[in-house]
């Protein structure tokens, strides 16, 4: 739910401020940093079932790969 709220906020803010694309990318990356932290918080909790931990680790790896690809595309 947090990601949906964040995207909605970006849309509203852009409509009001007329932000440039780079500013939107920057704000999106800031939101992704929060997602990274949430994944790390879950993975750092020791009382997680093994199957859930493996699932979260797989999601974390896919999210990081997507983030890295987007970052690379936006810096070149």
DSSP string for residues in 14-39: HHHH---HHHHHHHHHHHHHHHHHHH
Asked whether the predicted pLDDT for residue 1 surpasses 60, the reply is: no
| Domain boundary assignment for the chain | 2-75
pLDDT band of residue 54 (cuts 50, 70, 90) is: very high
Residue 58 has pLDDT above 90, yes or no: yes
Task: Return all residues near 2 (Cβ < 8 A) that are at least 6 apart.
Answer: 34
Give yes or no for residue 68 having a pLDDT over 90.
no
Q: What is the mean pLDDT of the chain?
A: 80
| Full-model pTM | 0.59
What is the C-alpha separation between 33 and 40, in angstroms, rounded?
A: 11
* Least confident window among 38-42, 51-55, 66-70: 66-70
């Amino acid at each position: 739910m947090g990601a949906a709220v964040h995207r909605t906020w970006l849309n509203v803010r852009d409509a009001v401020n007329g932000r440039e694309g780079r500013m939107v990318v920057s704000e999106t990356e800031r939101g992704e940093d929060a997602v990274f932290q949430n994944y790390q918080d879950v993975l750092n909790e020791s009382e997680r079932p093994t199957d859930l931990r493996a699932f979260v680790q797989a999601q974390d790896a896919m999210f990081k790969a997507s983030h890295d690809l987007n970052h690379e595309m936006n810096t070149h």
